[in-house]
């Protein structure tokens, strides 16, 4: 729709917006943000008279009168799209380290730390942000391992169905290890027990992320029941049992840790994955 002769577009299409009391660019964008509040989308960019609005120019642009423009095109993207772009930018920063000199590495780190990508990751994907920050600083994960982590998250965002189906072997392996955990603890195989706990935490977090992605994709996950238990309650029960397991493990209570792993977490993990896999196969 036009205000005077000005076109208001969203993602290149006529937005059908009728201005009421909006006088400035800031007024219009604030209204769009309110409209998007509670949805899975955000403003990702703005074109003013076919020219991109750069981050450093935003404060001044907000005060500009709409009547002085011929067109404003507002790019709206989903959080999934923002996350994927942020992961790709972080991947590029890590890849740039490979052949960089010491001074170039300092510049790469500084540029990334002050970037919109870093801000988004810290706000939305805190664990990824910490891993990337540490890797860029030469701490924590090596750049190679950090890249593997980023690539895994990108696969989840790009093809959640395939990623769910590809978890079958890993889930089976971890369930078997959980069932073996009591014996590992009793026979002093502490390293293997620790690795089992780490792998179990990894796959659990991954499955819950994939469940969330199915919901973002529009699948009615609230209608899912696992072992005849509503999904929300199953997740609460799963989380409580997981907290009990971690508490017992940290307290070095080998008997309780083994029992919880074998009789509580292993069956729940099987049920959770079987349900997710069934949902994915129907998509």
CATH number at residue 204: 1.20.120
Confidence of residue 3 (pLDDT cuts 50, 70, 90): very low
- pLDDT tens readout for residues 178-207: 999 999 998 999 999 999 999 999 999 999
Strand-pairing partners, residue 2, are 7
- Residues 71 and 6: beta-carbon distance below 8 Å: yes
Give the number of domains in the chain.
3
Q: Is 186 found in the same domain as 125? A: no
- Does pTM top 0.85 for this prediction? no
Q: Is 35 found in the same domain as 69? A: yes
Token pair for residue 254?
């080998």
DSSP 37: T
Q: Is 261 found in the same domain as 168? A: yes
- Residues 128 and 112: beta-carbon distance below 8 Å: no
Map residue 97 onto helix, strand or coil.
helix
Q: Is 96 found in the same domain as 42? A: no
- pLDDT tens readout for residues 48-82: 988 888 877 888 888 888 888 888 999 998 888 88
Token pair for residue 11?
């993602």
Give, rounded to a whole angstrom, the gap between the first and last alpha carbons of the chain: 37
Q: Is 188 found in the same domain as 137? A: no
Q: Is 192 found in the same domain as 235? A: yes
State which residues form the domain around 250.
Answer: 161-282
């Amino acid at each position: 729709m036009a205000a005077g002769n000005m076109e208001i577009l969203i993602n290149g299409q006529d937005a059908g917006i009728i201005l009421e009391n909006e006088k400035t660019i800031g007024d219009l964008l604030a209204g769009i943000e309110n409209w998007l509040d509670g949805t899975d989308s955000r403003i990702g960019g703005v074109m003013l008279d076919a020219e991109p609005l750069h981050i450093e120019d935003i404060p001044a642009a907000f005060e500009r009168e709409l009547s002085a423009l011929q067109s404003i095109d507002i790019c709206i993207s989903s959080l999934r799209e923002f996350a994927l772009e942020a992961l790709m930018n972080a991947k590029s920063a890590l890849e740039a380290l490979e052949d960089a000199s010491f001074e170039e590495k300092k510049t790469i780190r500084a540029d990334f730390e002050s970037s919109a990508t870093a801000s988004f990751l810290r706000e939305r994907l805190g664990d990824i942000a910490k891993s990337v920050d540490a890797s860029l600083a030469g701490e924590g994960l090596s750049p190679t391992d950090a890249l593997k982590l980023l690539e895994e998250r990108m696969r989840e965002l790009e093809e959640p169905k395939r990623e769910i189906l590809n978890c079958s072997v890993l889930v089976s392996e971890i369930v078997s290890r959980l069932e073996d955990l009591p014996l590992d603890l009793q026979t002093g195989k502490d390293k293997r027990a620790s690795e089992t706990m780490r792998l179990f935490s990894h796959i659990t977090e991954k499955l819950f992320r994939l469940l969330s992605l199915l919901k973002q994709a529009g699948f009615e996950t609230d209608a899912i029941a696992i072992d005849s238990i509503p999904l929300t309650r199953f997740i609460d029960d799963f989380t409580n049992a997981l907290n009990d397991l971690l508490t017992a493990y940290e307290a070095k209570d080998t008997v309780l840790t083994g029992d919880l792993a074998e009789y509580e977490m292993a069956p729940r993990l099987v049920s959770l994955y079987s349900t997710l896999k069934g949902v994915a196969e129907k998509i």
